A = this chain, B = another copy of it.
Amino acid sequence: MKIGFIGLGHMGAGMAGSLIRAGHEVTVYNRTRDKVRPLVALGAKPGNTVADACTGEVVFTMLADDAAVDGVVSESNGVLGSLARGAIHISSSTISVALSESLSQRHAGAGQGFVSAPVFGRPDVAASGKLFVVSAGPKQERERVSALLEAIGQKVFTVSDRAPDANLVKLSGNFLITSVIEALGEALALIGKGGIDRAQYMEILTSTLFGAPIYQTYGKLLVERRFAPAGFAAPLGQKDIRLVLAAAETLGVPLPIASLVRDRFLRLISQGGEGLDWSAIGELAARDAGLTPPGVDAGVG
C-alpha cells in the first residue's frame, strides 16, 4: 500500500521501519528533518510537509501528546485538509479519549476514515516489529488496514467499532503498569528495610505468582535503582495518568491508585526527577521509609 508516516521518534522510527520492510511504499515526515534520513536509507520516500505524507491510502501518526497530534491534524495543510476522501488516518499515539473521539468525528465529517491503534512496547520492541497493537474503529476501516497493523506488531487486538475505546484500553494499561511499579516499590521498601535481599526477593516473586514481563522488567529497574537514562520519561508517565484520570472523571469512575500515582509523579518531578525513567516513582516508598541515603540517588527525593 501507499502510505504516509508522521512522527519519527524512538517509537515511530521503529514502526515506520517495520512497514517499509513489509513492502509498503512509505512517505515519512518529521518536524525535525534529520530523523528522516535513516528511514530513507531503508527505502522510505522523504516528505517535506505533513501534506506530503497524506497522499496515499493511509497515514499513521505517532506523536508525543494531544497537542502534537491535534496540531498536525488541524493545521492548514494538515492531515484533515490533505487526506483524500476515503483515505484513513491511523493514530498510534497515546492520546486522550476525548481527542480520539473528536478525531473520529472530524474525519468522518470529511469523508475520511479513522482507526485508533495505540501500541504497548518500548522502543527496542518497536524496532523489531514485536509491539502489541490495540485497535478500534469502524469494522470496514479496520479491515482495510489490518495488514499494516500486523506489520508493526506481533499481535493485534481488536477492541470495538468505536475508535476511542482503543485509547481507553491503552491508557488503562499504562495505569496498570504504574500500579505495579508503585506496589513493587512499597513491597521492596518493606522487605528492604527489614534487611532482606531485594534482588533475591524479586527472584522469588517472578519465579512464583508474579511471573509476568511487567514484574521482570520493572522489578529489575527498581532493585538496581537504574532510573537513568529514561526509557520512558517521568513527564510522559505523568501525562498518561492525567489522561486516564480525565477519562475516568468523564465516565464517573474513582481510581484511588491512579490518584496516588499522580501524586507520586508530581512529587518526583517537583523534587528534581524530571529526567528520570517513570519507574523512579517506585523509589519514593523507600525514601519515605528513610532508606535511601540522600545524595546517592540525586533526583529521587
Contacts and interface: CB of A to CB of B under 8 A. Distances in A.
Contacts of A264: 254
Contact of A190 (B205, B244, B285): B244
A186 interface: yes
B253 A210 contact: no
A200 B132 CA distance: 15
A205 B183 contact: no
A249 B177 CA distance: 21
Contacts of A179: 179, 182-183, 186, 257
Contact of A176 (B176, B177, B184): B184
A294 B173 CA distance: 28
B263 A262 contact: no
A242 B245 CA distance: 11
Given A159-B200, A208-B132, A266-B252, A257 B183 contact: yes
Contacts of A196: 159-160, 165, 168-169
Contacts of A254: 262-264, 266-267, 270, 285, 288-289
A204 B134 contact: yes
Nearest to A193: B251
Interface in A147-171: 155, 157, 159-160, 162, 165, 168-169
Contact of A191 (B168, B197, B269): B168
Interface string A171-215: 011011101101110110111011111001101110111111111
19 contacts: A157-B203, A159-B200, A159-B204, A160-B197, A169-B201, A172-B187, A172-B191, A175-B186, A179-B183, A190-B251, A190-B253, A211-B213, A212-B215, A252-B266, A252-B289, A252-B290, A253-B266, A253-B288, A259-B259
